[in-house]
Amino acid sequence: MKIARVESFRVAANRDYEGSAGLRPATAAAPAPGRGGRALSHNPGRHLCVYPAQAEVLLVRIATEDGLTGWGEAHAPPIPGVAQALIRDLFAPLLLGRDPLATDAIWDALYAAMRLRGYGSGVLLEALAGVDIALWDLAGKALGQPVATLLGGPYRTRLPCYLSGVPGATVEQRVASAREAVAMGFTAMKTSVGRGPLDEDLDGVEAIVEAVRGRADVLVDAHGVYDARSATAAGRRLERMGAGWLEDPLPPEDVAGYAALCAALDLPVASGETECTRWQFNEKLSRRAADVILPDVCRAGGITEGRKIATVADLYNVPWCVHASISTAVHLTAGLHLAAATPNFLLCEYPQSFRSSPLADALLQAPLRYEAGHLLLPDGPGLGIAFDEAALAAHMLDPYTPIA
């Protein structure tokens, strides 16, 4: 069995991704007097990422000479075309004719292709992730086994998840969204801060925490916008109100700052969606600069590297969580299979946008199964999902022909 075709396709939908994910700041009905305008509460949003105007993903399809196919996904917003060029111009020539079951050897060869030129992170690893996941999907189909089984699992087939994103234009609307999440069976949810004044942001979080106290944990994502002083102040206030964790409070380069923050707070500090390799995670974990790590399987080199990252975290007795955001079900199910096959998995992110996105269950022949705060592991060969070809073609930005 040899690789005969390596293709990638840009897919897009949902013209208001930021709003659907609950990423815009809420407006308070009546800001506390003298708080929102304090100079030390000002947040310029200096470190915030650029988000695409619409949800965009890059799907990767690898086929053998006899027509067996595997699907992967590269997490590359808002520049899927860059990952696409890397796959077409760099990876495809290295893949053609190789045995698709040699996942680890292929990963090592693709990573080495640009290693000494400084490309050990970022979009190159996102492109590599898309290829790697497609190879694991193909391997599972070739051998008639789920990916989690090929990885030596599963430890579990019901994977606890948290709803990511508490949407609403006002604090009151976000409180209502949080209560709705509890009614749906979620026992944890994540809300965003960092796009407004610190005190006003945290007032909104406290309202959500109070609304679901005793029924659900509220995780808080700061998107790397705080400096050392404001991260510590925010963390201490979140501790007092009973939040579940503080995610990405600092820019990812500030490893020393993360170590100091972890030492200063009892509140868990979570990070890691920016790191792409076991070496980067080892640097952070060896310095005790994370209490929970959040590798993104579609950014951190795919399933092959993701398993090694989980093992490194286990050496330091640190749990890991599946990170997911702008994605199709390929992204989410790749994370689920890895989570099912690793002992130190904690939680899976279930994006709020996934509930209604045209790129999510709407692209599948059968939807992913959610049950009382858990996602159920697909049990078919490979990733265990199949696209509805007509629905998929409707969202393609590139020429696309199904493989029979």
The runs of H, that is alpha helices, within 26-89 are: 80-86
In the set 47, 75, 323, 331, the catalytic residue is 323
CB burial readout 298-328, b (16+ within 10 A) else e: bbbbbbbbbbbbbebbbeeebbbbbbbbbbb
Residues 6+ apart with CB under 8 A from 275: 121, 252, 281, 284, 293, 295, 300, 309
Amino acid letter at 169? Answer: A
- Phi, psi for 235 (deg, rounded to 5): -60, -40
Closest CA to 47 of 274, 236, 256: 274
How do 245-247 and 217-221 pair as beta strands? Answer: parallel
* Whether residue 374 lies in the annotated active site: no
- 3-state SS string for 391-404: HHHHCECCCCCCCC
Per-residue CA distances from 163 to 85, 219, 321 (Å): 33, 10, 13
Q: How far is CA 225 from CA 195, 205, 381, in A?
A: 8, 16, 41
- The residues assigned a catalytic role are 323
